[in-house]
Amino acid sequence: MHKPSMPSALLTTTAPRGTKPSLGYAPLLEREGYRVDQELIPEASSVRQLLSTLSLGPRVRDYDLIVANEYSTAIGLGLLAVLCRAKARMVVVGLNLSRRPFKFAFQPLQKLVDRALGRYDAIVVHSSPEVASFVALHKLDRSRFQVIPWGFDLPAYEQAELPDLPSPYICVVGRNNRDFETVALGLKGTGVAGVFVGADKSLESDRPDIRCFETLPFEACLKIMAGALANVITVKDSGRGAGHITAVSGMLLGKPHIFSNVETLSGYLDDGRDGVAVPLGDAAAFNRAVTRLASDPALAARMGEQGRQHALREMTHAKFMERIVAVMLDRPASAERE
Which of 336, 337, 282, 276 shows the shortest CA–CA distance to 306?
276
Which of 168, 161, 130, 136 shows the shortest CA–CA distance to 336?
130
Residue 34 counted as domain residue: yes
For residues 188 and 283, state if they share a domain. yes
**Calpha distance 289→283 (Å, rounded):** 10
For residues 199 and 282, state if they share a domain. yes
Distances from the Cα of 26 to the Cαs of 59, 125, 176, 320, in angstroms? 19, 19, 29, 13
CB-count burial class (<10 Å; 0-12, 13-18, 19+) for 69 = buried
Which pLDDT value is given to residue 267? Answer: 85
How many helices (H) and strands (E) the chain has is answered by: 11, 13
For residues 201 and 137, state if they share a domain. no
**Which residues lie closer than 8 Å to 121 by C-beta, 6 or more apart?**
89, 90, 91, 144, 330
For residues 107 and 145, state if they share a domain. yes
**Calpha distance 269→323 (Å, rounded):** 19
For residues 288 and 322, state if they share a domain. no
* CATH label of the domain that carries residue 106: 3.40.50.2000
CB-count burial class (<10 Å; 0-12, 13-18, 19+) for 188 = exposed
3-state class (DSSP) for residue 128: helix
**Calpha distance 102→92 (Å, rounded):** 16
**Calpha distance 129→134 (Å, rounded):** 9
Distances from the Cα of 90 to the Cαs of 11, 15, 117, 138, in angstroms? 10, 21, 10, 17
Phi and psi at 278, nearest 5°, equal -130, 150
For residues 176 and 286, state if they share a domain. yes
For residues 126 and 197, state if they share a domain. no
Helical segments of 19-125, H only: 26-31, 46-54, 71-83, 107-118
For residues 148 and 198, state if they share a domain. no
**Calpha distance 64→36 (Å, rounded):** 10
Residue 164 counted as domain residue: no
Domain total of the chain: 2
Helical segments of the chain, H only: 26-31, 46-54, 71-83, 107-118, 128-138, 180-186, 218-226, 244-252, 283-295, 297-314, 317-328
Q: What is the largest CA-CA distance in the chain?
A: 81
Tell me the pLDDT of the chain (338 aa) as tens digits: 445 589 999 999 999 999 999 999 999 999 999 999 999 999 999 999 999 999 999 999 999 999 999 999 999 999 999 999 999 999 999 998 878 899 999 999 999 999 999 999 999 999 888 899 999 999 999 999 999 999 999 999 999 999 899 999 999 999 889 999 999 999 999 999 999 999 999 999 889 999 999 999 999 999 999 999 999 999 999 877 679 999 999 999 999 999 999 988 988 999 999 999 999 999 999 999 999 999 999 999 999 999 999 999 999 999 999 999 999 999 876 544 45
Domain span at residue 231 reads: 169-314
For residues 22 and 139, state if they share a domain. yes
